[in-house]
Every structure is written in C-alpha cells, then in structure tokens.
Structure 1
Amino acid sequence: MNHAVEIWQTLLRATVDKKHPWRVVSFCTASAEGPAARSVILRGADVEHKRLVFYTDSRSQKMSHLQHTQAVALLFWNPRSNEQLRLTGKAYPLTDDTIVNAHWQRIPDYARKDYATLSAPGAATGAGVVHDFSLARQHFTVLEFQAEHMDWLKLDREGHQRVGFALNRQTGTWDETALVP
C-alpha cells in the first residue's frame, strides 16, 4: 500500500467534503515572540505538486509570522479513524491576481464580510465591527503551503502504525520510512 498516495487522496477529499475531519486544520506559525496555532479551512490540494491552499486576511497575525519565517506546521486529526497527520513545509501568499481572483469568485457573498472589516483580525472591537465591502478583495489572501515532510500516525488497539515521509525533490515523490509509534 502506498501511504503517501492514500494520504494525498484523503486531503483532496477533505477540500470538497465539508464534514471531513481533515478539512479543519491546525495551522502553526512562529515569530520572534514564539509559536502560534490556529484553525484554518483546507481549500485546495494539488496532489502532483504536494501543495495545499488556505484563505486568510492579509492583516492577520499569521501573515506577519510568515514575514518572520515561512516555515509552517500543519496538524490534521481524524477521530473516526484515529489518524493524525503532521505536515511541515513553507507557506507563502499567492500574488498572481488571476489566480487570487479565481479563488475570490468562489467566496459566497455572506463570507466576503470576513475580509471587509475596517480593523484587522484580532483587533479590539470597541464600539463594534465596521465593514467596508469595497476593501474586502484587497484583504483576501490565498496562502499556498508547499509540503516538505509528513508524519502519519494511526492509533489502533492491535498496534499503532507510524510512517515518516520526506519529499524527494529530484523525483517529486515521497521517500517513506516506517517509524516507531
């Protein structure tokens, strides 16, 4: 069984199945102040190039963290199958307006308000949240994550399984190593 292929097919499935446990991901960054984790929604998976896509606000804390270092860790957990997946790699904002606009067109009107606030995410609300929809697209950012390593763990009473993967840049495939759980 090719674990890497199965993992990436599962990630691809999570981008379209809104109830899939791997759709909500722990996105972990680092800054001079230390590590930070938050939940994000998996929006896309490019199996061939080992890339994942997420959306964020350009003013969010994760964006300032990515200016410090593009190194990111992702954590997925599936309580139904008792599987954990950890990915490490680099995340960066996409700058091609054609690509970003194509993603923006997929955002329903009700969700665009998340990018239309006058204040940055995490700012104190004071008198309330004020929206300016003319600014929403300007704040919308598409983040691409390039996977470099994976660590898959399956918890099972009959015996746990764990496999580590490193991306072989020459072949574009995963070098797989069985690990002690």
Structure 2
Amino acid sequence: MREDLQEFFDKVVTELRTGMVKRGHPYKYVTLATIDSKNSPVLRTVVLRQITQDLIGTIYTDSRSNKVVHIETNSSASILAYHKGKKLQVSLSGTLMKIEDQEHIKALFHKVNPNALKDYTTATAPGSTIGDPSQVTYNPRLLNYFQPLEFVTSFIEVLQLQDPLHHRARFVKQPDGSWNGDWLTP
C-alpha cells in the first residue's frame, strides 16, 4: 500500500482502538447494521467493547435479540462510527458471528459491569411488548442471555472532512490478512 494510504489507514485503526480505552470517545458507541429476514437493513446503536489491530470487534448482546436472529440467516453486517470533533467517519463492512467458545464467553461475562448485567437477564426477550416500563422483570444473574458477537472486518471506507480538501479512501482486506487501499473522490 502507498505510504500516504498506509498512514491514513493506521490513523483510522488507532482512532478506533482509542475508542475502546478513552472514556467518552465517540467510537465507543457505533451504529450496527444487520439484514433481517426480508433483506432489509436494520440499524441500532451498540457499544463496541473491543477492536483488535486486525479490526476484529466484539459486541455484547442478549442471545434473544433480533441481531442474533438476523446473523443466523445472513452474517453480513456493517458498523458506522463518526467522530464529530475530528470530522472522521469510518464505515466497516464484514461478518458478524456469535462467539461460541464457552470459556471465552465466561471470561467476557466476568468483565461486564455489575450495573449492566441486567441488560442480559430480562425475563422476556428484547423487543417484547409490555404494558409499561415498570413491568420489566429480571432473572437471577446465573440465568442470563449474555451473547458476545464477533465482527470481522473485510472492507473499510473512511471519510475525513477537512479544509481545503476532504479525504476519502477504501481499504479491502486481502486473503493473506493485509490491506489494500485506494483514494476515492470525496
């Protein structure tokens, strides 16, 4: 990859990874898109819990959520992140899969803030109709529906808004794990 593209790519990866450790960083909360049974995109905001140098991300959810149902029939997914202060938009495309290894799931579950555990212990599935919010009931911690998901990035498109020229690039992951990039017209 050309040096200028490599620098841009490295900047994006660094910024994404900073979102995992810096409190209040805009890349902590991202928009996740999955495809439903009618082939329609479904968007929601999720917490990106981790992202590796290889751009493999981790998201936590309730195993009964729609996103889990969606990826069972179509694992294609996208993540959109925008940093308002830096005017940097990052769109990641790839596949979203359930993490199945029970020891890995257990280790991730133990990292969950105790105050957030209730998100995975509701008696009814997310999206179930209820009379009012006070009717939500919770199971004990041991009866939970915690399901970590792994997002494997295969394609990135980045837009940097800046004066006098915006910068836009795409990066495609190669079979050997490297990335090829191209500058695009903004």
Give the TM-score normalised by structure 1.
0.94
Q: Find the counterpart in structure 1 of residue 143 from structure 2.
A: 135
Q: Find the counterpart in structure 1 of residue 164 from structure 2.
A: 158
Residue type of the partner of 1:114? D
1:81 is the counterpart of 2:86: yes
**Structure 1 runs of 4+ with >6 Å offset:** none
**Percent of aligned positions with the same letter in both sequences?**
28
Q: Match for 2:99 among 94, 97, 114?
A: 94
1:55 is the counterpart of 2:60: yes
Q: How many residues align?
A: 177
Give the TM-score normalised by structure 2.
0.91
Q: Distance in 1 between matches of 2:37 and 2:129?
A: 22
Change (3 A) 1:18 1:125: farther
SS of 2:85 mapped into structure 1: coil
Residue type of the partner of 2:143? L
SS of 2:19 mapped into structure 1: helix
Q: CA RMSD in A?
A: 1.2
Shift of 1:95: 0.7
Q: Distance in 1 between matches of 2:32 and 2:182?
A: 24
Structure 1 portions without partners, runs of 5+? none
Q: Distance in 2 between matches of 1:94 and 1:67?
A: 12
1:18-29 equivalent positions in 2, closer than 5 A? 18-29=23-34
Q: Find the counterpart in structure 1 of residue 10 from structure 2.
A: 5
